[in-house]
Structure 1
């Protein structure tokens, strides 16, 4: 079966069709529950889906993956769709406090043939998850995200955070409170954006 190129990677036709169905669902639900900014509705594929796919390309799928503040499912649902084929044994959990968005996430996961658990709670109220991997996109500043990582990530785990043009300033600010090892990778879709791969998170 021929693979289809998305961004800088390739996926099977089945995965591609699942991702396209997810795109359709986001377009259908977003006007009602504000899944993504209205200004990006016409560019969901590049702005949100391809960007989320890149997060999965930076690492090997672990045993447990926790996506926090999942919102419209970027990157959580995309991770689950890719894992359905690449890592079916990976246990994926999405945390989202908004009940309506949780309803969307569960619908998207089911209709796209993926597997993931959705938790309808605030991140700080969830018992420590001891996840191998934690991800977040457009959720909070890096200092705050590292606090969530400290709570929910295994000591040897990895955090993956998508960040925009101000990422270097956020890193500098975070280092006043946190120690961590950092690798940055330029975004496929936004020249000044990056994916931060972080390990060894400890308080200063």
Structure 2
């Protein structure tokens, strides 16, 4: 697993910030249920590395993460971007006010800049994001609708999915056209990362 971060050329300081995020998750999760409790002990691989693998898929100036919850992948992306000295903007959309509070407090503690939108995805003004991500949020057909609203015209949507991804793609193609690149997860066998462009309703 450490090979993934080595491949990203991540500094020791950045790794320490990611470790701090892991600790914050363990501290806050009993009260807010940011992620499934069964995954907290494996948070480094299940959430942090799983998020980090998305960082270099495409360049970005604006990254929008929908349904950010515990900050995956959004906060991880913000930490990695800050570690590169990037001034890119990371927007975290989270309607649950308690989770949005966690995201703000975690970002402050980690020393990274994020924009937290504590409202429903459908209510947020279009974000014109270069990259849009969502992890364990909704079926792909619904995610396509969010992407159509919040992606810039040449933007890229990145959706990690589990073993049922092919059925989700088939269902989404009934209502949407899109260019699709399927990449195997570097963290979880059988899972994939769907990289999508040119998402248009039909």
Q: TM-score, normalised by structure 1?
A: 0.95
User: 1:32 is matched with which residue?
Assistant: 31
CA displacement 1:22-73 (0-9 Å, x = unmatched): 000000000100001011011000000000000113222x111111110110
Summarize the Cα distance change of 1:150–1:34 in structure 2 as closer, same or farther, 3 Å threshold: same
SS in 2 for 1:128: coil
Other-structure match for 1:12: 11
Deviation at 1:8, TM superposition (A): 6.4
Residue 53 of structure 1 corresponds to which residue in structure 2?
52
User: Any residues of structure 2 matched to 1:14-163 within 5 Å, and which?
Assistant: 14-60=13-59, 62-163=60-161
CA positional deviation for 1:85 = 1.8
108-117 vs 13-22, which deviates more? 108-117
CA–CA separation in structure 1 for the residues paired with 2:15 and 2:4: 9
Which position in structure 2 is the counterpart of 1:195? 193
Unaligned runs of 5+ in 2: none
Q: For 2:191 and 2:84, how far apart are their aligned partners in 1?
A: 26
The CA deviation at 1:109 is 0.8
Q: Is the 8 A contact 2:4 2:53 kept in 1?
A: no
How is 1:160-199 mapped onto 2 (pairs within 5 angstroms)? 160-199=158-197
For residues 57 and 166 of structure 1, the distance between their equivalents in structure 2, rounded to whole angstroms, comes to 25
Q: Deviations over 1:154-198 (max 9, x none)?
A: 111100111001001100100000000001111112111011110
* SS of 1:184 mapped into structure 2: strand
Is 1:155–1:201's contact at 8 Å kept on the other side of the alignment? no
Q: CA RMSD in A?
A: 1.2
- Output the TM-score relative to the length of structure 2: 0.96
Cα distance, 1:203 vs structure 2:
0.9
Contact 2:58/2:131, CA 8 A, preserved across alignment: no
Give secondary structure in 1 for the equivalent of 2:15: helix
